[in-house]
């Protein structure tokens, strides 16, 4: 009778077994990011960390709202506008949401034309996205000014629970900062696209390989994230 033995698989030459091997693969970019550029991978990591921050903000808001013994202000009353003698609830917030969601469409088209190497359309759509973002920030500034004039502060407000002001300014301010930064970068990259920096590989910030418009897609990842976060803020803060 022939004795059979089970052979232990041998590691391939140059590989490190176990957790040390996983760490080595990630550190040396052998497998983990083989088909993903570092720019795109780092943006995903940044967005993941930002997701944790916004999640903490929203969880803190929900905890404060559910734990307070003082009545929480009604968003339909607080964020209403008087237009033509009519008391219209959440009209400003609805317009802001529509503008920001529309900007995702123009950004997606900008990425599409970027990979087609259509400089003019890519730059025009990125500038349109920046214009939408700037409009959103302007309307948010109007909202802040209105509430401050009505007596809302981080430490209190005239409609009820004092935590409302702190939650409002913290969450919307942090998101508005993200939108403002996005607008600045959109304008800067649109300028580089229009000048043809990515076609002639002109040296400078954010200039990639010749004919490579990946920075437009990376900017799109950031912008879509900002829009998605606003959907959650809109649902939890304004509709709840």
Q: What is the pLDDT of residues 183-229, one digit of tens each?
A: 999 999 999 888 887 777 666 555 555 556 788 999 999 999 999 99
C-alpha distance from residue 58 to each of 53, 159, 167, 172 (Å) = 9, 21, 9, 11
* 180 pLDDT tier (thresholds 50, 70, 90): very high
- What is the separation, in whole angstroms, between the first and last Cα of the chain? 76
Q: What's the pLDDT score for residue 9?
A: 45
Residue 86: predicted pLDDT: 82
In tens, the pLDDT along 79-109 reads 888 887 788 888 999 999 999 999 999 999 9
Spatial distance between the Cα atoms of 198 and 207, rounded to a whole number of angstroms:
6
CA-to-CA distance for 226 and 232, rounded, in angstroms? 10
Query: Could you tell me the pLDDT band of residue 14, with boundaries at 50, 70 and 90?
Result: low
Q: Is 154 exposed, middle or buried (0-12, 13-18, 19+ CB in 10 A)?
A: middle
Give residue limits of the domains in the chain.
37-238
Helix pair 163-195, 214-233: axis angle to 10 deg: 160
State how far the Cα of 90 lies from the Cα of 79, in Å rounded to an integer: 5
Looking at residue 208, its pLDDT comes to: 55
- Distance separating alpha carbons of residues 113 and 143, to the nearest angstrom: 35
Cβ-based neighbour number of residue 47 at 10 Å: 16
> What pLDDT score was predicted for residue 3?
47
Average predicted confidence (pLDDT) for the chain: 85
Whether residue 173 is predicted with pLDDT greater than 60 in this model: the reply is yes
Half-sphere exposure of 168 (CA within 13 A, CB side): 25
**Stated pTM of the model:** 0.82
C-alpha closest to that of 162 among 75, 68, 238: 68
Spatial CB neighbours of 15, under 8 Å, sequence gap ≥ 6:
21
Quote the pLDDT of residue 85: 78
Percent of the chain with pLDDT over 90: 51
User: For residues 141 and 149, what is the distance between their CA atoms, to the nearest angstrom?
Assistant: 12
Higher pLDDT, 128 or 239: 128
Residue 66 has pLDDT above 70, yes or no: yes
Tell the CATH topology of 37-238.
1.20.120
């Amino acid at each position: 009778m022939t004795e059979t033995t089970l052979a232990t698989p041998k590691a391939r030459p140059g590989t490190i077994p176990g957790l040390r091997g996983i760490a080595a693969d990630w550190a040396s970019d052998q497998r983990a990011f083989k088909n993903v550029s570092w720019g795109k991978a780092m943006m995903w990591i940044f967005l993941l960390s930002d997701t944790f921050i916004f999640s903490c903000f929203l969880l803190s808001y929900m905890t404060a709202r559910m734990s307070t013994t003082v009545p929480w202000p009604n968003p339909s009353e607080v964020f209403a506008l008087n237009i033509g003698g009519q008391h219209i609830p959440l009209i400003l917030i609805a317009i802001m949401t529509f503008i920001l969601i529309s900007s995702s469409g123009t950004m997606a088209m900008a990425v599409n034309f970027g990979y087609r190497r259509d400089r003019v359309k890519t730059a025009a759509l990125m500038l349109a996205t920046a214009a939408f973002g700037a409009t959103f920030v302007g309307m948010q500034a109007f909202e802040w000014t209105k509430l401050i004039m009505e007596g809302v502060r981080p430490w209190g407000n005239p409609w009820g629970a004092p935590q409302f002001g702190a939650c409002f300014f913290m969450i919307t301010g942090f998101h508005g900062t993200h939108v403002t930064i996005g607008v600045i970068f959109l304008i800067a990259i649109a300028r580089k696209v229009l000048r043809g920096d990515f076609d002639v590989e002109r040296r400078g910030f954010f200039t990639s390989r010749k004919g490579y418009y990946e920075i437009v897609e990376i900017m799109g990842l950031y912008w879509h994230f900002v829009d998605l976060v606003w959907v959650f803020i809109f649902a939890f803060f304004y509709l709840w």
